[in-house]
Amino acid sequence: MAISREMRNDGKSIVIHVNGQFDFSVVQEFRDAYQDCKGKDVIIDFRGTEYIDSAGLGMLLNMQTFLKKNEGDIRLINTMPQIKRVLVIARFEKKFLIE
């Protein structure tokens, strides 16, 4: 499974793990992972992500809109250099907190 999620012990935070490729092939899996996350802090963990394309970027923006989160409210963590490069080129540091 490319997308998995876990609830943090505090009950207020959800971590969504993305493994492998973050592209159109996982769009429904990713949507399912955040459907019930309104009102919670959302963290996307890219530790196991090898590739992201424009569909992956679009999925992040759609999630932000769906959850009605302000810019900087969603954290993107453990980004590999090649993933971070794509995020920076797309200027996603203006929309998300990238760690």
Give counts: helices (H), strands (E), the chain.
3, 5
Q: Residue 9 has what pLDDT?
A: 81
Domain chopping of the chain, boundaries: 3-98
Q: Residue 11 has what pLDDT?
A: 79
Instruction: Give the three-class secondary structure for 80.
Output: coil
- 21: tokens are 């490729």
User: Given the structure tokens 């490729």, which residue do they identify?
Assistant: 21
Is this structure's pTM higher than 0.85? Answer: yes
Q: Residue 1 has what pLDDT?
A: 67
Q: From the options 3.50.30.30, 1.10.260.40, 3.40.50.880, 3.30.750.24, give the CATH code of 3-98.
A: 3.30.750.24
List of E strands, the chain = 3-7, 13-22, 41-52, 75-77, 97-98
- Better pLDDT: 58 or 11: 58
Q: How far is CA 36 from the centre of its chain?
A: 15
